[in-house]
Amino acid sequence: MFERLNTPEEAFNYQLGAALKMEHTVLDKILADNMEEAQDAKLKELFRHHMDETRQQIDNLEQAFSAFGWEVDDSPCPAIEAIHKEGKTNVKKTDDSIVDSIIVSGAAETEHHEIAVYESLITNARAMGRDDVVSLLQQNLAQEQHTLEEVKRSAEQIAAALPR
């Protein structure tokens, strides 16, 4: 969309698009793969629940575009693609008996990245005086923070159950 970002609004538009691309990648690739590869039923349920939240987050991002009067656009998000690629590689080389520990580690990385993205977007939306957009982004941030806490609890349970 933009060859060069010349204004704060253009930069925000681009970053908002990258966040949208991030959420689509999380939903369509990362969570889908995690659901398929996870062994633990509780972990699968966590991912299933986060898929529903991710759909809402996509809707919130699309509403943010609308609030600005911008066409919905997803910009590239190479960071989330790299996290996805790393996760797939790690799962492939891990024995099934410990694969959940690898999956949950990747889920934590993903959540940390998403949290950082939303914190940055919120800072910039607030600087533009767009409280309506801040509210939408804060909803997404709160969900990501909650999911990270659930992922951490799952990681502790899975680690405690690993054979030593």
Domain count of the fold of the chain: 1
Please, which contacts does 58-62 make with residues 24 or more away whose CB atoms are closer than 8 Å? 58/20, 58/23, 58/24, 58/27, 60/136, 60/137, 60/139, 60/140, 61/16, 61/19, 61/20, 61/23, 61/136, 61/140, 62/20
What pLDDT does 40 receive? 93
Residues in contact with 16: Cβ distance below 8 Å, sequence separation at least 6, in sequence order: 61, 64, 65, 70, 121
In a domain, 91, yes or no: yes
The predicted pLDDT at position 1 comes to 62
Q: What pLDDT sits at residue 126?
A: 98
Length of the chain: 164
**pTM of the predicted protein model:** 0.95
- Secondary structure E strands in 18-78: none
Q: Which residues form the domain of 100?
A: 8-161
Residues 98/160, Cβ–Cβ less than 8 Å: no
Residue 104 domain-assigned? yes
Q: What is the pLDDT of residue 59?
A: 98
Q: What is the CATH number for 102?
A: 1.20.1260.10
Is residue 1 domain-resident? no
pLDDT of residue 5: 93
Q: Phi/psi zone of residue 38: left (φ > 0), alpha (ψ -120 to 50 degrees), beta?
A: beta
pLDDT tens digits, the chain, 164 residues: what are they?
A: 678 999 999 999 999 999 999 999 999 999 999 999 999 999 999 999 999 999 999 999 999 999 999 999 889 999 999 999 999 999 999 999 999 999 999 999 999 999 999 999 999 999 999 999 999 999 999 999 999 999 999 999 999 998 77
Is there a contact between 30 and 65 (Cβ–Cβ < 8 Å)?
Answer: no
Residue 3, in any domain of the structure: no
Residue 54 inside a domain? The answer is yes
Candidates 8, 118, 130; CA nearest to 66 is: 130
pLDDT of residue 74: 82
